[in-house]
Amino acid sequence: MGMGYVPKYPANFQHFDYVNPDAPKGGQLTLSASGSFDKLNPFTLRGQIAVGMGYNLNGFVFAEYGLLFDSLTTPSEDEPFSSYGLLAEDIALAPDQLSVTFRLRREARFSNGDPVLAADVKYSFDTLMGKEASPVFRSYWGDVKRAVVVDARTIRFEFQRRNAELHMILGQLPVFSRQWGGGKPLSELQNEAPLTSGPYVIEQVDWGKRIVYKRRPDYWAAYLPVRRGMFNFDRVTYQYFRDRLGEEEALKVGELDALEEFGISSWMRKYKGRRFDSGEIVKAEIAHHRMTGMQGLVLNLRRPQFADMRVRRALDLAFDFDWLNQRIFYQRRLRTASYFTNTDDLMARPTISPEEQALINSLQHRDAYLAGTHGPFPVSQGTDATAEGLRRNLKEAQRLLAEAGWSFRDGALRNAKGEAFVIRMDLADRSSEVVLAPYARNLRRLGIAFEYRLADPSIIRKRLNEFDFDMAVGMLGGSSSPGNELYDDFGSKAADEVGSQNLPGIKDPVVDELVDRIVASPDRQAIGAATKALDRYLLYQHYVVPMYYGTQFFMAHKSHLRHPAELPSRLLAGSWLLTMWWMEPH
């Protein structure tokens, strides 16, 4: 099935175009991770999950691409949103669109040899919709009334209302066995490996330091068209390091097989040495067309200093992207300008299209929408990296702050109560300091104290889950086929739901209505019009200080690793490495 279009691959396709169907199996892949981990359960909020155990829900990636969990269907990675059968061999949407039925493959097996049955699918769904699981699932599948076992290999999901994409996103359900944990509550299954049907099993765990995954020689789906040429390494090992420096040094001495670099300055200056000169380690810059979402500094609206939109706009003006791009990024980054960055049909533009205008005119909250999108298009035009450009931006920021009731006195910017304007932020490692230090300097010129400090990643995750922060680096949006996940990203109900992705704390009926319109869109054109309208409104509210994005991945890897010539447009480099690369036989 395709979301509003005819899928690319026909029923008799043999493999995805972007894989090597004849990729050899074998070899060991050693990768790295920062920090630590203390659980093997990816579905609860408490604790830090081991890398490699995650899964993907329509653009929201939990940890890395999952090595353990199969789902009912699987997407292709070169289409906006198409689903092809994995555990399910058939999917049928009811004529009234109020239920969907999946029929499971007879050959589907868990790693212990048990068949995957409809009762396991129902158990997985009911467990993830329970209070002990992350609220993401309850938001994502909130329109499902119940799951019904029709027979041993058939399950039906009944809906509370029509929802244009619900039948497809239910296919993303990560399925695990009813036998996992022997009936224990989900919250007590922190250290027991899930019993799953995916291509790998956990072979070894050294808590907080190392985890090893072993490829199943009996993987039931290995020769399905949706799995040919994928998951080629016999073992995948993640070695944990305290910081990024440790990972970089481990690569240089040959302990790691590959490392994706996210910092351009590090890529240009640090990835050098004997193994690079000899060709043992290859530096690869891989162009991509992936939609990147809104990467930015998220402002917590639950904090009173961020309540006024003029303040939020001032904070945006103080972020000098052009200076960073010239001095730090070697002119190889672009300013984030949308919650659906790097797309042609989802991003808002300065000129409103006829389809978008028609949708805006039909909104129940049309007047509020128009009032909230008044004035020039809000995307920052930059400062051209000159001192005069920054001076103009800071002068405008100063004017906005004064309008909002903030004035400089007694050595700080203060409100009417005399309270100083202070922003605090936690960092997982020092790599962000090169970006934040110039921003702190600019804020200081406005009288704002910007204090950032290093903290353990697990502590940062807990604070974000509980919305106990002022500002945080975050990624909002990010799906090439926006839909139900937007309720958790921007919906009013999610703003107070511990663990939701609505980090800014957005509570706005205009946003809620626009998300409803996106979810109800019957085709890709309607999705595009509604998404542009949502993007436009969110940009005008300045909930996030936009940062930057790149159109290439930076990957250093040993020369014996190979990959397909084509990079699928939607995949992340890290998951591409796990799923489609292989080791050249000696």
294-549 and 28-240+552-583 share a CATH fold: no
pTM confidence score: 0.83
What's the chain's average pLDDT? 91
Output 410-417 pairs: Cβ under 8 A, ≥24 positions apart.
Answer: 411/447, 412/447, 412/449, 413/446, 413/447, 413/448, 414/447, 415/305
Residue 58 has pLDDT above 70, yes or no: no
* Rounded-to-integer distance, Cα 207 and Cα 197, Å: 23
Give the closest residue to 352 by CA, choosing from 515, 513, 536, 543: 536
Q: Which of 208-222, 267-281, 369-383 has the lowest mean pLDDT?
A: 369-383
The fold of 294-549 is Dipeptide-binding Protein; domain 3 (3.10.105)
pLDDT at 182: 87
Q: Are 3 and 80 in contact (CB under 8 A)?
A: yes
Coil, strand or helix at 409: strand
| Residue 575, both tokens | 């998951």
pLDDT at 139: 87
Type of residue found at 147: A
Banded model confidence at residue 188, pLDDT cuts 50, 70, 90 = very high
pLDDT at 515: 96
Residue 419: other Cβ atoms inside 10 A: 13
pLDDT at 389: 85
What average pLDDT does the segment 430-442 reach?
Answer: 92
Coil, strand or helix at 110: coil
What average pLDDT does the segment 354-363 reach?
Answer: 96
Residue 175 has pLDDT above 80, yes or no: yes
φ/ψ of 156, rounded to 5, equals -120, 135
Handedness of CA 344, 345, 350, 352 (dihedral sign): positive
Residue 280: other Cβ atoms inside 10 A: 13
Model confidence over 126-157: pLDDT tens digits? 999 999 998 889 988 999 999 999 999 999 99
**Angle in degrees, 0-180, between the axes of helices 433-445 and 387-403, rounded to the nearest 10:** 60
| DSSP codes, 239-306 | EEESSHHHHHHHHHTTS-SEEEE--HHHHHHTS-SHHHHHTSEEEEEEE------EEEEEE-TTSGGG
pLDDT at 475: 86
φ/ψ of 581, rounded to 5, equals -80, 170
Model confidence over 462-490: pLDDT tens digits? 999 999 999 999 888 767 788 888 999 99
Banded model confidence at residue 380, pLDDT cuts 50, 70, 90 = low
Banded model confidence at residue 535, pLDDT cuts 50, 70, 90 = very high
> Which of 14-18, 288-292, 388-392 has the highest mean predicted lDDT (pLDDT)?
14-18
C-alpha pair distances (Å), 349 with each of 80, 296, 508, 512: 20, 19, 22, 21
Model confidence over 260-296: pLDDT tens digits? 998 888 899 999 999 999 999 999 998 877 778 899 9
Residue 544 has pLDDT above 80, yes or no: yes
Banded model confidence at residue 2, pLDDT cuts 50, 70, 90 = confident
φ/ψ of 233, rounded to 5, equals -85, 140
CATH number belonging to the domain at 28-240+552-583, selected among 3.30.110.30, 3.40.190.10, 3.40.640.10, 3.20.20.70: 3.40.190.10
pLDDT at 512: 97
- 414: phi > 0 → left, psi -120 to 50 → alpha, else beta; which? beta
CA angle 580, 582, 584 (to 5 degrees): 155
CA angle 301, 306, 310 (to 5 degrees): 125
Type of residue found at 231: F
Percent of the chain with pLDDT over 70: 97
Residue 318: other Cβ atoms inside 10 A: 23
Domain ranges of the chain: 28-240+552-583, 294-549
What average pLDDT does the segment 312-339 reach?
Answer: 92
Return the DSSP state at 567. Answer: P
Q: Are 71 and 82 in contact (CB under 8 A)?
A: no
Q: Are 506 and 543 in contact (CB under 8 A)?
A: yes
Banded model confidence at residue 60, pLDDT cuts 50, 70, 90 = very low
Q: Are 212 and 29 in contact (CB under 8 A)?
A: no
